[in-house]
Amino acid sequence: MATKTKETKSKGLVIRLKKGRIACNPNQRACLKGLGLKKRHQEVSLENTPSVRGMVKKVIHLLDIVADN
């Protein structure tokens, strides 16, 4: 069985969803879906691009920025 290795990106963001999306409006839910966040306390590692930064800015009140490389 092949093992999955985590790639570390030199220029990236690690974000965590700190609040649920139950009371969010549809635009904010779409941003969370685009970021790949579904459950509370879930962490994702993303590239640091302008589009990702814009989505993070729209839902910053729901997120924690864990690492900013």
Give domain status of residue 34, yes or no: yes
Give domain status of residue 6, yes or no: no
Phi, psi at residue 26, to the nearest 5°?
A: -60, -30
pLDDT at 6: 54
Domain that holds residue 60: 12-68
Whether 47 shows a pLDDT value over 60: the answer reads yes
CATH code of the domain in which 25 resides: 3.30.1390.20
Q: What is the pLDDT of residues 6-44, one digit of tens each?
A: 554 458 999 999 999 998 999 999 999 999 999 999 999
pLDDT at 67: 85
Give domain status of residue 40, yes or no: yes
pLDDT at 7: 53
pTM over 0.75: yes
d(CA 59, CA 63): 7
Give domain status of residue 1, yes or no: no
Top pLDDT among 34 and 3 is at 34
**What is the tally of structural domains in the chain?**
1
Give domain status of residue 54, yes or no: yes
